[in-house]
Amino acid sequence: MTTRSALVGLFEKGFDKPSDLLCCAFGLRSTEIDALFSLMSGPLTVKEIASKVGRDRSTVQRVLKKLCQKGLVEQEERTFDRGGYYYVYSAVSSTEVRDQVLAQLEEWYNQTRKFLLESWPDNSE
């Protein structure tokens, strides 16, 4: 794919639902979206998320690791009474996600504007 074809229609892109925006802003795949949305109702374990999204535990663990790295999910360690531990995962607040998307958008705008003002050829003469 060329740079040109990747940018065709960039300014015409619309969003019909929140998952469209999350895919664009964070590069999320459908399994990651499903896992994130499963956490909107409250904290869950890997086993509970796997059951909700219909994926195996190892897939869900990889997905959760990516979501944590992207700042969309938080991990909390809890201990069993008899020893050992497990993790519970929570989605960050929708306000935090919105702020992250807005920060990305602002950064993209500033970089694009800088490029156009400093690097775009001026053939007006």
**DSSP letter for each residue of 55-89:** --HHHHHHHHHHHHHTTSEEEEEEE-TTS-EEEEE
Establish if 27 belongs to a structural domain.
yes
The structure's pTM equals: 0.76
4-63: per-residue pLDDT in tens? 555 566 566 677 777 788 888 888 999 999 999 999 999 999 999 999 999 999 999 999
Establish if 119 belongs to a structural domain.
no
- Structural domain of residue 101, as residue ranges? 23-111
Instruction: Provide the CB-side half-sphere exposure for 20 (13 A, CA).
Output: 5
75-120: per-residue pLDDT in tens? 999 999 999 999 999 999 989 998 988 998 899 899 999 999 998 8
46 vs 37: CA distance, rounded Å: 14
Instruction: Provide the CB-side half-sphere exposure for 26 (13 A, CA).
Output: 25
Domain count, the chain: 1
Establish if 41 belongs to a structural domain.
yes
55 vs 49: CA distance, rounded Å: 8
Write the CATH number for 77. 1.10.10.10
Establish if 46 belongs to a structural domain.
yes
